[in-house]
Structure 1
Amino acid sequence: MSQTVPFTKGHGTGNDFVIVADPDGALDLTDDQVAALCDRRFGIGADGLLRVVRSRALGEGREAAASGAEWFMDYRNADGSTAEMCGNGIRVFARYLEDQGLAAVGEGLRIGTRAGIKTLTRSDRGYEVDLGPWRIESEDVLVRAHGLPVPRPGVGVDVGNPHVVVAVSADTELDDLDLTRRPLLDPEPRHGANVEFVVPRDPLVQGGVGAIRMRVFERGVGETLSCGTGVAAAALAVRHWAGAGAPDDWTVDVPGGTLGVRMRDGHVLLSGPTALVFHGEVALA
């Protein structure tokens, strides 16, 4: 017998999610069920699924509960696989909690994730998440993608989940990429990586703010209209390449809109709009 569950559809700059409330951790979704819900032809359609669960009800959330984070974002990619973090997803998650009266952002809302506790606040752009410290990898990764005439070196950036950022020469080269097929990485990271392709705006810096444009291939999903942690990784990579004097504040244009990134005290923060689109019920296969 199938089980019917309520859901909400939400997105952040076009990066969309199925949101399922499971405060007591009673819902055990299989990879196939998640993939079916996220299927754009036979399901609701989404880049991923956000399960809203109390930290204390989830084994991997107990540390978050002990640190005062009542809620845990159980994030799953569209193919059902688990992921450490999602920058757009956690902002949509916070929007959902406030919309449902389950939490208030106030001066800071702490949410548990597989990449640790993240703090959400409000900004002029919407919700802002402190993604925490980042790491620039020392070794380049060679990236092959359909539409690139030759393989390009990419830099690894870890912002709680793994990314490889590749610079392209012009808007036309960015537009001509075929991201219906997964880029190939050499060496291939052990747990895979999201791959971002970026081109600087001209001028790169205006009024003390850097500006870039980006497309992304997300592991376990494919090309998406936006990727929050990918936006942060792209800004960090370009800042790294630009060297001394590069700004700490950036705007990043993605197919789904514009997000803000800023670096403060060794942490990277991401801000941008969110929306809850509709509510419904769905029968689980």
Structure 2
Amino acid sequence: MKITVVGCSGSMSGPCSASSCYLVQADDAAGRRWSIALDMGSGALGALWQHCSPADLDGIVLSHMHADHMVDMIGMHVFRRWHPDGPLGPIPVLAPAGAVDRVRGVGGDGPEEDYAAEFDFIEHDPQAVRTMGPFTVESFPVWHPVPTYAVRITGPSCEREGSVTLSYSGDTDYCDGVIEAARGTDLFLCEAAFREGMDTVRGIHLTGRRAGKVAKAAKPATLVLTHIQPWTKPHDVLAECLDEWQGSTAIAQAGATFTI
């Protein structure tokens, strides 16, 4: 499994990165490359083009419907409907309930627009395991002001025989759901948008320290801190995290790749 950081800026696009989007790719047993995107935030569609054609996406997973995680679904809709080679057809989009209405609102479209020609919306269900090509996707409710899901993705390893696991926190504060999503995974993409002593409201984001506590409880092989806001120094967040967690840790940067 190969993971590319398409966009990792927290809450908004920044000078060095689009907001949230992560490209996950793996080959199936027949050698066919599958590609799914985790979130589609502001600036993500343009940045995605640097790594693969948007036409090659096989699915999209939306953790929640805040703009910095989904607003470029409108661009994707335009791309798929009016592609010069003809309409590209629908791809599965795993998203919270009400996703169609939310996308419609961003696009300014009328109630007749259901995007069915471009997207097959499927609701997150913590009781279900979804399949996208060689990937299985599990959903875990987490703590954020709107319905939000961390995901755990299992797929083929590109480094050894067998399968590996990736987890992605979406946006969350410290809770059981994000710990369960990340437990024992090979790579954990974990948001850390808040700073200790500065952002005291709870139920929105993790701080670096709380991200470290999640990792300490879940014990992933590698933790990648992401969704850091443009005004925050990433190494300050990293220092907070390392007070709690001394395992393998990196800071997400646009264009970075990880293979597991």
Shorter-chain TM-score range = under 0.3
TM-score computed with the length of structure 2 as normaliser: 0.26
* Structure (1/2) with the larger strand percentage: 1
The higher relative CO (CA closer than 8 Å, separation ≥ 6) is in 1
TM-score computed with the length of structure 1 as normaliser: 0.25
Q: Report the structure number with the largest CA radius of gyration.
A: 1
